[in-house]
Structure 1
Amino acid sequence: MEIESKVFSASIASVAVQSLIEELELTPKPGLVDQNNTGSHSDLTCSLMRASAESLKDTFKKIAYTSYGRLPSQSLREEIAEIGRAGEKQMFEVTNGINTHKGAIWAIGLLTSAVSMGKGTFSIEKCLSTAGKLASYPDRYCPKMVTNGRHAMVKYGVNGAKGEAQEGFPHIRKFSLPMLYQSRKNGLTDEQAKLNSLLSLIATVEDTCILHRGGIQGLEFAKKQACSFLKSGNFDSLNKMDQEFIKRNISPGGSADLLAATLFLDKTEQMNKGRKLKEYHCIR
């Protein structure tokens, strides 16, 4: 049991980091750091983002190990929150104080915990609902801090990353995952499918990163641009959209975090199917 949980936790942590790196390297992403440019972020680089993602492997491994085979509870919520805060500290040490993946630690951390609670057997729907249950427990030891995201939540009356998680990640369930699967079914490349998935999020999420930088006008502009792209399916237009986002200082960071979480769930589902296939052949 001990060896099994350690091996599983290491495997899931690798998937989590891989998902962050795949989101980073997806190009072109409007307003976001990718292999073409740094988007609306003058303080970030692709290499810094990659180093940040890689620094979080131990964090996700600890979250998975701590959650293995357990049920959502107040104590588990606070245990993984402590691990997450330690992970944030490690991230900031690597990035010299720049916030690169705080939102991703929250989203993928919860989903990592949910996947590990089910020992890799939960369906995506079950993982999302389990993560939502866990997120709904209060973290009594959370430092009282006014973040950019929290400020935008209060100012504009939106749920933000916390509400998204507590509701079981509805934008992943209703938009990004279905878009990813449908795009693949329609014969698009994997990169195009991921871009469609990202744009489906930008078109629907009340992204606090956009609200913080561009207010309601910035959010409405981003949503309109994303909807226009999804209707046209013209991938050549993404470079122009990128320049428009940069010009307006728009960065859909919340949508990027949800895309990474989407890729994580997709990968863990594929692992689960692979495991079941092996079991089937062993039984036969």
Structure 2
Amino acid sequence: MHSREDEALAQAAVDALTGQLALAPKPGLPDPRDLGVRAGHRDHDWLRWSAKALAPGLAAMAAAARRTGEPTPRLRMELGAIGRCAEHSLRLAGGGHRGALWTLGLLVAAAALEPGAGALEVTATAKRIAAHPDRRAPRRPSRGSTVSATYGAAGARGEARAGFPHVRRAWDALAAARSAGAPEAEARLDALLTVMSTLQDTELLYTAGPLGLRHVQAGARGILEAGGTATEAGRAALHALDTDLHARAWSPRGSAGLLAGALFLDCLPVRVSSPERAA
């Protein structure tokens, strides 16, 4: 059974994912402009519904972590089983967000294990969970794991086992942009670009190869070096990269999921209000 705390963590994760979806323009990624405008791109409403479909699975992950009480191999296997059920729900809702489910699931479970903890403690706990193998996982390799093996990229598993370094970088970039006076939307876009500038995105490696990945990384760095998306030069560079990536049909989906992880960390600790506490 899920507690109010479990449901609050799950909702915070869903809010982080839908908050990422609401940003625009995101180079090569779906955003609100896709509503009936770009043929061949995923409908934005479809992705929002898919994000909401994750809530029960994420709440179940939080409940499993709270019940287990520590990052054990048993918890890792239980999270994997819940995650595969959640992937089925995603397919029924239209698909999308598999990478974000992996990131947010581990972070939600870690936050449930460390009530009241901040971002660094939560990512450290997520690292301890991810260190255990999921012995019940299907043996067939995923596309991401195949690409990781081919190109030597860390991939989603490597990112988690390293304690989500790109999630932490995005979280730091978000704070730095806010401190510099950037509006919230631009601060979040700068955080996304920070991830894109260095992440070995397996989706990009699959569709564009190493040269394409470096092209995207260089474009993201160029925007940040121009002053970020809150500046006129940075905004112009952002629009140019967005047009370029959509024309090439290159999508840095891994970066989007990691930004959602950073936005989840940004809302920690999640507090639950109740009539009893308010009284």
> What corresponds to 2:207 in structure 1?
213
1:171 Cα deviation from its structure 2 partner: 1.6
The 2-side partners of 1:123 and 1:26 are apart by 25
> What corresponds to 2:223 in structure 1?
229
> What corresponds to 1:266 in structure 2?
266
The 2-side partners of 1:239 and 1:26 are apart by 13
3-state secondary structure, aligned to 1:64: helix
3-state secondary structure, aligned to 1:36: helix
Extract unaligned runs of 5+ from structure 2.
229-233
* Structure 1 residues 236-251: aligned runs within 5 Å: 236-251=236-251
Distance 1:47 1:227, change over 3 A: same
> What corresponds to 1:101 in structure 2?
97
1:219-253 CA distances to partner (integer Å, 9 max, x unpaired)? 00000000000011212332221110112221110
> What corresponds to 1:255 in structure 2?
255
What is the alpha-carbon root mean square deviation over aligned residues?
2.1
1:183 Cα deviation from its structure 2 partner: 0.3
Moved over 6 A (4+): 38-41
1:31-74 CA distances to partner (integer Å, 9 max, x unpaired)? 00001238999251101100100111101111111111611001
> What corresponds to 2:134 in structure 1?
139
1:180-216 CA distances to partner (integer Å, 9 max, x unpaired)? 0000001111000000000000001111111111000
Report whether the alignment pairs 1:66 with 2:64: yes
> What corresponds to 1:37 in structure 2?
34
3-state secondary structure, aligned to 2:28: coil
2:34, 2:41 within 8 Å by CA — same for their partners in 1?
no
3-state secondary structure, aligned to 2:166: helix
Extract unaligned runs of 5+ from structure 1.
none
The 1-side partners of 2:235 and 2:132 are apart by 41
The 1-side partners of 2:18 and 2:66 are apart by 24
Deviating more after overlay: 62-71 vs 215-224: 62-71
> What corresponds to 1:110 in structure 2?
106
Aligned length: 267
Percent of residue pairs identical: 32
Q: Give the letter aligned to residue 174 of structure 2.
A: L
> What corresponds to 2:153 in structure 1?
158
1:133, 1:166 within 8 Å by CA — same for their partners in 2?
yes
The 1-side partners of 2:265 and 2:140 are apart by 30
> What corresponds to 2:183 in structure 1?
189
1:218, 1:248 within 8 Å by CA — same for their partners in 2?
no
> What corresponds to 2:6 in structure 1?
9
1:148 Cα deviation from its structure 2 partner: 2.2
The 1-side partners of 2:106 and 2:74 are apart by 14
TM-score (norm 1): 0.89
The 2-side partners of 1:158 and 1:57 are apart by 30
The 2-side partners of 1:150 and 1:252 are apart by 16
TM-score (norm 2): 0.91
1:154 Cα deviation from its structure 2 partner: 1.3
The 2-side partners of 1:40 and 1:242 are apart by 13
> What corresponds to 2:83 in structure 1?
84
